[in-house]
Amino acid sequence: MGSGWSRAFFRYTIYLSLTGGIIWQGCHLIHDLQNRPMTPVKSIIVNIQGNVKKPGRYKIPYGTTHFEILQVAGVTTTSDLTPFNLTAQIETDQEVNVGTLESPAGVKANARLEFYFGEITIISPEGRDRVPREGMSIDEGDRILTEEKSQAELSVNTYSRIDMDDFSEITFDKIGLDAEGRNVIELYQKTGLCWYKIAYTEKDEQLKTLTPLADITVSGKGADYTVDVKYSETVINVLDGLLLVERPDGSDAINLITGQSVTIYRDGRPFVVTKLSGETNLTERFTQLIKTKTDIIMKHMPFNFLFFSAPAVYILVSVQFEKSTVYIVQLPAETSVSYYVQGFNTLQEAFLYGGPVFASTLVERIMNTRISKYATFDKNDIIRTAASIGGLKVAIDDKASAVLGLKKGPHLLKGQKIIQFLKPSVSGQEDSQKRQVEILKSIFEQLRSKNLIITSLLADQVLTNIESNITATEIMKHYNNFTSRKNWKFRNYSLPIRTTKKENKIIYEPILEESRKILFED
């Protein structure tokens, strides 16, 4: 029973994402074919020069995209991708010169609410209460307050964490670049005890904690420390690392190293530096928060992962156990991420610079949720996996029946028939999108009813041949939660966007307020 349900859950997530990829990759290729004359398959010579890792002459198949040839040549963090239409196909021999950015492309500083228990309050700079959710983005100016018997964990950039004890208050004064181009997070801790575990992954990162009596700057590669703010004094304990501690007016400063503690008094007396007391047991103090984190991860946290088939396909899959609902959110390749980054504009550029992990961090901020897993397929992966599905049962409408040469009604479609069924040329883009939803619903229904069978060996083969950080072991951790709920529902969305033009290219600006409601609908 257990292994059968586990395989069903695995099939459910993998096939649902695969089908979305097949749909969008197929429609993308069909659209290209419809808008250019048919040309015999041939080879093209592209000479790539400039700021790439492997410049030179490349012999490529006709129809290769700019994205694919740049991926092979290898972009650097200072490669200028703005002149390129990455999804456009290369149809003639040509010279390609890649320019250089003034400063490296990268992600701006960021912060998120990871976990909490009890009552916490988040207030925006405009005074509006924000609804706390695990994985939500913390914006510049947000104020976070924990109430009695409440604790919260915040994440900062990639690996840093801040644990807030009860009756604590933090305001994120600055999240972004400073005058010197560094990624700076500057926060004000007004009251309470907070445990900071800061790890710098980039040379330009900096975190500063301001308090009523002392300003604290993390030096070196990071630090592990606590800050306890009371009215009459502030106590700082350094468990590991190096801190610069100074009075807000700059009148006094000291460097603290591992194993030291300093007390700063409101009455202005000199800093009191002592050895760190061995009695402090932070793990015990935050036991409930650690237990809450484990419980959420194992039982309540949605299983979110991104499906990539670059350059055109970007799909978020969210399995919401608590609501017995699966969400599919399709994001355009040209989705703007410029608010969160420097040096480039779109999601597909992010993928080219840093791959699926880099792109995932940006989708997290757009959707206001944590996305820890991904799966990446190229064209050959999609073709091979689609063949293993064995067909999909869908209802053929009047308009599609003529093109497919099939009678109206339910039919089992395979391979090229699925692509033909989805062609916009059949009866327009709107009907094509409706048929895409029908295909996704068909996959969902067949998996839910266990009519779609896959062996464990084949499942392992699919994972082995693709770039992904999803493992069979992780899938099995979710199956108990999956099988304990019935009446699963399916929701399909396109990312809410506004169309704009930037540097002579169409860019899709996400409508954040609407985008962030999708996964949290009532």
What domains are there in the chain, each with its CATH number? 2-32+301-520 (3.40.630.190), 39-100 (no CATH), 108-293 (2.60.120.1440)
Per-residue model confidence (pLDDT) at position 215: 96
Q: Which tokens in the block code for residue 383?
A: 């073709």
Contact between 497 and 45 (Cβ < 8 Å): no
Nearest of 173, 158, 152 to residue 109 by alpha carbon: 158
Question: What gap in Å lies between CA 497 and CA 332, rounded to an integer?
Answer: 9
Structure letter (DSSP) for residue 214: -
Residue ranges, the chain, pLDDT below 50: 1-40, 383, 452-454
Partners of 502 in the beta sheet? 505
Please tell me the predicted confidence (pLDDT) of residue 248: 93
In whole angstroms, give the CA distance from residue 457 to residue 481.
24
d(CA 178, CA 183): 7
Q: What is the per-residue pLDDT for 5?
A: 39
Confidence (pTM): 0.71
> Of 366, 317, 315, 375, which Cα lies nearest the Cα of 341?
366
pLDDT digits (tens, 9 = 90+) for 355-365: 898 899 899 98
pLDDT at 300 (0 to 100): 62
pLDDT at position 399, please? 86
Q: Which amino acid is at 30?
A: I
Q: What is the pLDDT of residue 15?
A: 41
